[in-house]
């Protein structure tokens, strides 16, 4: 039997604000940097990701991440997140609303789908919102996984220390997360900003490298600290 294009892993209320959110896993990816990993999307169930950003309802799935849309003192609205929600996240949300993904909670077919695969937890949205038992269950069947959370200070996220990377946006974040036992993923405004730490540059961002998340496997929350230079359309606002 052919593997479905995607699965609905969980429907729940956000631990951030109680709003309805949905967790979807898609099985194929053309992302050059990640490779063909199974991609997990955390979305507002009742609002498209494009509209959620405009209204601020994306807080349900992103918390108080500094890369969300914000207003500068001059009145201009900016967003430094690298994810273009008008592309893949919007397509996934529309497909979910159209009933294109298989509804599964616990199923042998889902276990088979992630066997010998790398899972990218949080292609969009914060994966620390997901039930940790579900994450652990699927990770047991996968080759490896990646995952990053800006919610690492929150009580509900503590179950993911050692599984997800703490997303850090400065040296103070790095020191705080490290002291709390997290491996860190650090976004810097320019290359080399984290040379004073033990963090390694993301291999997929090294010029001339053919590495992907599928081949690298360093961002599993347990191995090492990683840094990456800000990229995407909003990088200038980091």
pLDDT digits (tens, 9 = 90+) for 190-217: 655 555 567 888 888 787 788 888 988 8
State the pLDDT at residue 235: 47
Does 83 have pLDDT greater than 80? Answer: yes
Average pLDDT over residues 93-99: 95
Mean residue pLDDT of the chain comes to 88
State the pLDDT at residue 59: 97
Does 53 have pLDDT greater than 70? Answer: yes
C-alpha–C-alpha distance, residues 60 and 154, integer Å: 14
State the pLDDT at residue 60: 97
Q: What is the b/e burial string over 167-185, where b = at least 16 CB atoms within 10 angstroms of the residue's CB?
A: bbbeeebbebbbeeebbbb
Does 23 have pLDDT greater than 70? Answer: yes
pLDDT tens digits for range 166-194: 999 888 999 999 999 999 998 877 655 55
C-alpha–C-alpha distance, residues 170 and 167, integer Å: 10
Prediction pTM value: 0.89
C-alpha–C-alpha distance, residues 168 and 33, integer Å: 20
């Amino acid at each position: 039997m052919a593997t479905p294009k995607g699965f609905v892993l969980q429907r729940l209320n956000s631990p951030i604000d109680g709003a309805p959110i949905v967790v979807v896993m898609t099985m194929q990816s053309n992302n050059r940097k990640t490779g063909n990993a199974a991609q997990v999307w955390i979305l507002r169930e009742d609002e498209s990701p494009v509209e959620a950003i405009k209204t601020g309802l994306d807080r349900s799935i992103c918390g108080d991440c500094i890369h969300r849309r914000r207003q500068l003192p001059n009145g201009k609205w900016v967003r430094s997140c690298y994810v273009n929600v008008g592309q893949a996240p919007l397509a996934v949300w529309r497909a979910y609303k159209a009933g294109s993904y298989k509804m599964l909670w616990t199923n042998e077919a889902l276990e088979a789908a992630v066997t010998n695969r790398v899972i990218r937890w949080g292609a969009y949205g914060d994966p620390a919102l997901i039930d940790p038992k579900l994450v652990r269950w699927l990770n047991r069947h996968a080759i490896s996984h990646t995952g990053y959370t800006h919610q690492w200070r929150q009580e509900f996220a503590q179950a993911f220390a050692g599984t997800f990377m703490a997303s850090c946006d400065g040296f103070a974040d790095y020191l705080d997360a490290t002291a709390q036992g997290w491996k860190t993923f650090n976004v810097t405004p320019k290359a080399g900003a984290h040379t004073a730490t033990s963090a390694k540059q993301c291999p997929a961002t090294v010029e001339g490298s053919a590495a992907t998340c599928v081949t690298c496997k360093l961002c599993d929350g347990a191995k090492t600290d990683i840094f990456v230079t800000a990229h995407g359309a909003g990088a200038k606002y980091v």
